[in-house]
Chain A
Amino acid sequence: MTNHQTSRRRFLAGLGAAGTAALLSGCVTSGSSGKSASGGAVTLQSNLSAPQAKAAMEDLVAAYVKKGTGEVSLNTVAAETFRTQLPTYLTSANPPDVYTWYPGSVADAYARKDLLLDLGEVWESPELAGYSKALNSLCTATSGKKVFVPTTSYWWGMFYRKSHFAKWGVSEPKSWDDFLDLCDKLKSKGISPIGLGAGGNTAWVASAWFDYLNIRINGADYHRGLLAGEHRFDDPEVRKVFDRWQEVLPYFDPDGTAVAFQDASTSMLNGRSGMMLIGTFFADAAPKDALDDIDFFRFPVIDPKVPLAEEAPTDGYFAGARTGRHDEVIDLMRYLGTAEAQEIYIKGSSGTVLPCHPDAGDAGTPLVVKGRAHIEEAAEITQFFNRDSSDALQPTADNALTRFIAEPKSIGSILTTWQRDAEKIWNA
């Protein structure tokens, strides 16, 4: 009872405090330039709270401090909290300096509100000179300013276990029809062909299917335009995506929207489901002996005329515009962009990511080598639904897609609702 009361009050207080903070920051922006205290350690706000990733971040910070050019205090926050607090961090009067986050549309949304520090100086340094053109444009805001330092990226694919495929006598499909055949064969053996993992708190995983079908059928350009609000979700192009999806829907694990991706990937590793469209991050939870047995294939090409695109999200850092430690932040960012820093992170974490620095070495496992080639063959790279649009648009997709998986017949009304919900976000 009492804890209920306090939680309610705390919530109201929090809501109000957020309002007060906005008012205060409003005063701050109109009054002075509102810089945080200068000098001292740079605060690095990190959402990498998984044990391996967190340890890797600690190694990285220790290595930077050892270099002796600056001090950093690492502040690791749970991913969900980080995401909801990020706008508050960036607008508060005394914000953290550097944040882990994503480049592209998400970063640009903040940059357009003048909340991100111009990192042009960092990009001029020789360390970042070798970065690819694609990364260059990904980290450039609409204003033309560089606002992001990319460090690692990973890829999505159809993951499976080699030993299971051998046991079932099946092999990687090349075309969409091959893929349907494979699903059919697995189903006849009593295996759920496709695991999903859009239940629990990871409904967003289903968006990978939407992203891939859309970039295979309508192409990456259309996909980005759609997420930016230039096209409509109830357009016939989007309808085609779901018509395709209906062809494979019978092969989806019936518990697909009931279990989280962690459980779904365990099912795949145990052979209860055949394969799974997922990012390499799922390997963090895989047992060591299964790691060498994991392989993946490209999401099958549907229309060969559409330029080949792959989903390969990039991670990295940006800095708040209100930081009072400009020079220290630039120095840290320069370090984070080096091959050395990225190698330290890869060594400390699960090692399934690829460094952004062209000279940095990856983990070198066959899986990573294949992943690198997989990305390099692609003509276009997309990030992921929320990264190519905004975090606010993601829940609209979650609702539409879980409803589609449960009631594929009412796709017409699902898309109408999706468009209406998305408009509220775009117009907000």
Chain B
Amino acid sequence: MAVLTTTKSTSPAPAPPRGRRGRGARRTPPLVLAFVLIPLLAEAVWVFWPALQGFYLSLTSWDGVSAPTFVGLDNFREMAGDATFRDATWNTVLWLVLFGGLSAVLGLATALLLQQERRGIGFYRAALFLPVVFSLVATALVWQAIYQPDGVLNQVLESVGLESLRHAWLADRDTALYAVIVPALWRQIGYVMVLYLAGLKGIDPALHEAAKVDGAGPWQRFRHVTLPQLRSVNAVVLSVIVIDSLRSFDVVWSLTRGGPYHSSELLSTYMYSTAFQSLRLGYGSALAVVIFVLAFGVIASYLVRAFREAD
């Protein structure tokens, strides 16, 4: 809306735009107001109000049946001494680094590989993007079958003579977390690839031409032309990855439920199990608040940076 009014004001006469912009804002069409207010109202009822409730619940002790009792910051104090919370935080960090890092690197690699228009390239792109279409719960079911003690993975290992590596992948605390990251990655790579493909499409081919004429090799062109041009996409990918990592839940829950004995527990699964299995909804809400603060911190710092750059 602001863009519209400014272009209108600048085109007829180069008058100082300040006064006109102010008048334009006062004459907001009712339709635009409706477009803003109705979603805001829906958002307030379905998102903001419940979120505030969540904040309040994090200060209470509540079993979901009796009335919640206010306990102040006790839940957060308990968190400080909770070994499972520490493990879950560490696993979430590990998840962020492995899942986030690998999906960014592999997503960029596949995008570079598949950016040229060649015969049949569409097939490969579709194949890599396909996992994004499946629900993660369905994905988890497929991978559960792969990881079974007599599942595909162990059979393949056996057929190539690696019986010694045979494993109950999801039931061993040393492998469970990594075994869960793989299906999540399998899905995320396709998504990141599409983001990068769009970014690569936006790079002016003339830049590459010029670099080539100047005698830059493929690596130099990637390092000094492609990467700087992808900066805005990188920011999007980063925030998507961080948020996706923090809210990863479905794939972990359907494969291991955070087990065996908390070894694949993430903050999100720990929150769910304390709230809805142990029925300690106060402590669960406190965990949700922590997750919210982490996610919000990342998004806010990204937004601040983005706005500063725009200025």
Contacts and interface: CB of A to CB of B under 8 A. Distances in A.
Contact of A199 (B170, B275, B278): B170
A15 B63 contact: no
B247 to A, nearest CB: 5
A254 B259 CA distance: 17
Interface in B47-73: 47, 49-54, 56-57, 61-68
A87 interface: yes
A1 B195 CA distance: 12
Contact of A258 (B49, B65, B149): B149
A258 B168 contact: yes
Interface residues of A, number: 51
Contacts of B65: 87, 90-91, 110, 113, 115
A7 B52 CA distance: 18
A263 B280 CA distance: 32
A338 interface: no
Interface string A253-280: 0110111000100000000000000000
Interface stretch (A19-27, A99-107, A209-217, A235-243): A19-27
B67 A26 contact: yes
A134 interface: no
B273 A395 contact: yes
Contact of A403 (B57, B247, B260): B260
Contacts of A9: 46-47
A255 B259 contact: no
B171 A199 contact: yes
Interface residues of B, number: 48
Interface string B137-181: 000000010001100000000000000000010111100000000
A402 B261 contact: yes
A402 B67 contact: no
Contacts of B52: 16
Nearest to A25: B67
Contacts of A255: 149, 168, 171
Query: Which 8 interchain pairs have the tightest Cβ spacing?
Result: A16-B50, A258-B168, A258-B171, A19-B53, A403-B261, A16-B53, A255-B149, A87-B64
Given A110-B65, A425-B278, 18 more contacts: A4-B244, A9-B47, A15-B50, A15-B57, A15-B275, A18-B64, A23-B53, A87-B63, A91-B64, A201-B257, A255-B149, A257-B171, A258-B149, A258-B171, A403-B260, A406-B261, A417-B83, A428-B280
